[in-house]
Amino acid sequence: MSTFRIAIVGAGPAGYFAAQALQNSATEDRDFAIDMFERLPTPWGLVRSGVAPDHPKIKTVAKVFEKIATAGNFRLFGNVELGTDITAEQLQSHYDAVVISTGSALGRKLGIPGEGLFGSLSAADFVPWYNAHPDFADLEVPLDCDTAVIIGAGNVAMDVARMLALEPSELDSTDTADHAIAALRKSSVRQVYLCARRGPEHAAFTSPELRELPKLEHTNVLINKAQVTDAQVRLGEGAEKDVRSNLEAMSLIAGLEETHHERTMHLEFFLAPQEILGNGRVEEMVFGINTLVNGEIVPTGETRSIKCGLVISAIGYQAESIDGVPYKSGKIANVDGRIEGTNMYTVGWAKRGPSGVIGTNKSDASDVMKLLVGDLATQPKQESDLAQSLVGHRVVTQEGWEKINAAEVAAGELLNKPRRKESKADELLKMAGL
């Protein structure tokens, strides 16, 4: 039996699905010893620090990750960062192959004047703040204003808008970070504008996210009915299924009986961010108004302003570059997942950019692992265990993570939450027994 040693860097969905694909391709004479490195003390990537707290069912995929982690020859090295604690060179020499699944965590910039003002944030900072990511626990989020503007037309923008527009008590039974629940409870935000540059038919929301809006019990949801009807007329029967379903969901929202809750979410289209105004902090968001001419989005030359104290952009993500790992155009440079000229591969958002749901990473990782397995030499390398060079470093093993997990779930049970997340890295390490 030959055992090939594979390093997987990044314990998000893509990393776990890569591990699973390798476990599934073991044969009678070949298997895999998998070491998964993760920079945080906790695994699960965006399933822990991205997915909205009011969508707990989505997070049950973590049970699959834990099964992968406890099956076969698998070791977790949490609190170990590639580029800081270990190098790409070390990994390449100690392992038969290396899989980079470090995701895509940097928010794309709007590139407009005023973006640097206090009160202008990226969803890439705001989302991990409410999800207890240790790097963002101290983020200052000004919620002392009546109006927030969210820029973007995808599910992340929708999550952000919902989190701001929910009645705070609706978060009590979720795993939202304690500091975020406390801040949102004191929030003065009552009007949340979700603003898209193009029309309703171009929005990248998925229809289930739109269809849950009418079910919000404490939030009015407003959308311009004429804009939705115009889009339906423009597309006629030719609309793709997903677009048709989205427009139907929007039409349903537009046709809702008027409600009079304290909080309102406004879905707005054809607004191109132009400038953020304010004296030391955000005071006003200025948009150029767009229109459609022969299927093309064009500016009308008119502008619209929304007075607000908070602007959050959710217009996409890009990967962070890592020393020793080729990088191009916001992603890890690769051809079909192979990082050319190396024994490294890449999967997930690091490979493709920020597209696709959790499940998309499963088929993607499976395809790349087929290439990896096909490229392996006939005999594994005979190198020393890299773990030896981490002696003295506070490594969160699978056992350590299970201690954190059990403690968080137990603390949550007392409060009727799925878990009570710890957001301080040092506390998490202590919980792991380190």
Ligand X SMILES: Cc1cc2nc3c(=O)[nH]c(=O)nc-3n(C[C@H](O)[C@H](O)[C@H](O)COP(=O)(O)OP(=O)(O)OC[C@H]3O[C@@H](n4cnc5c(N)ncnc54)[C@H](O)[C@@H]3O)c2cc1C
Instruction: Give 3-state DSSP helix, strand, coil % of the chain, rounded to 5.
Output: 35, 25, 40
The answer to whether 406 touches 416, Cβ cutoff 8 Å, is no
- Please tell me whether residue 322 binds ligand X under the rule CB under 6 A: yes
Among 66, 81, 212, 275, binds ligand X (CB under 6 A): 81
- Report in angstroms how near the CB of residue 17 gets to ligand X at its nearest: 8
- Please tell me whether residue 58 binds ligand X under the rule CB under 6 A: yes
Contacting range for ligand X; rule: CB under 6 A; set: 21-29, 350-358, 379-387, 392-400: 350-358
Contacting range for ligand X; rule: CB under 6 A; set: 248-256, 347-355, 375-383, 387-395: 347-355
Among 50, 78, 152, 309, binds ligand X (CB under 6 A): 50
Structure token pair of residue 232: 């339906």
Single-letter residue type at 239: A
Stretch (H or E) spanning 149: strand 147-151
Question: Which is nearer to ligand X, 58 or 406 (by Cβ)?
Answer: 58
- Please tell me whether residue 122 binds ligand X under the rule CB under 6 A: no
> CA–CA separation, 187 vs 249, rounded Å?
29
Structure token pair of residue 203: 């929005």
State the maximum Cα–Cα separation within the chain, in Å, rounded to a whole number: 71
Among 71, 182, 256, 357, binds ligand X (CB under 6 A): 357
- Please tell me whether residue 358 binds ligand X under the rule CB under 6 A: yes
Q: Is 426 in a helix, a strand, or coil?
A: helix
- Please tell me whether residue 337 binds ligand X under the rule CB under 6 A: no
Among 68, 127, 143, 332, binds ligand X (CB under 6 A): 127
> CA–CA separation, 30 vs 1, rounded Å?
6
Cα 408 from chain centroid (whole Å): 21
Among 21, 35, 38, 254, binds ligand X (CB under 6 A): 38
Question: Which is nearer to ligand X, 12 or 168 (by Cβ)?
Answer: 12
Among 65, 205, 269, 349, binds ligand X (CB under 6 A): 349
Count of other CB atoms within 10 angstroms of residue 272 = 20
Site for ligand X in 92-121 (CB under 6 A): 101-103, 105
Per-residue buried b or exposed e for 254-265, using 16+ beta carbons within 10 Å of the residue's own CB = beeeeeeeebbb
| Binding stretches for ligand X (CB under 6 A) | 9-15, 37-40, 45-46, 50-51, 55, 58, 81-83, 101-103, 105, 127, 156, 159, 322, 348-350, 356-358, 361
